[in-house]
Amino acid sequence: MNEDSDIAVLGFFVKILKCVSAALLWMMGMILLGLRFQLAYPSAFGLWATILFYVVALVSLFFTARYITRTIRGGKIA
């Protein structure tokens, strides 16, 4: 193998690590907020806090998915 293919493979693995770490960070954050602080349960804080939690979860999931797709495609990430 030459050095050019090694650099390409290394770049590919960096993309994989960025995508996996972004997904795990989002997932651990939502688990922490939802289960540990009980924002996912309507009985703990009321219905309005639960609805707000799920709206924040969906919006942050959208931006996490957007980050992952831009990372995979190799586009600019601002």
Estimate the crossing angle of helix 3-31 against helix 47-73, to 10 degrees. Answer: 180
Does the pLDDT at position 76 exceed 70? Answer: no
Global model pTM greater than 0.75:
yes
Which of 50 and 77 is assigned the larger pLDDT? 50
Tell whether the torsion through CA atoms of 32, 35, 41 and 43 is positive or negative. Answer: negative
Model pLDDT, residue 63? 97
> Domain locations in the chain?
3-73
**With bands split at pLDDT 50, 70 and 90, how would you rate the model's confidence at 1?**
low
- From residue 58, how far is each of 15, 27, 31, 33, 75 by CA, in Å? 24, 12, 13, 13, 23
Model pLDDT, residue 60? 98
pLDDT digits (tens, 9 = 90+) for 31-65: 999 999 999 999 988 999 999 999 999 999 999 99
Return the residue matching tokens 């493979």.
9
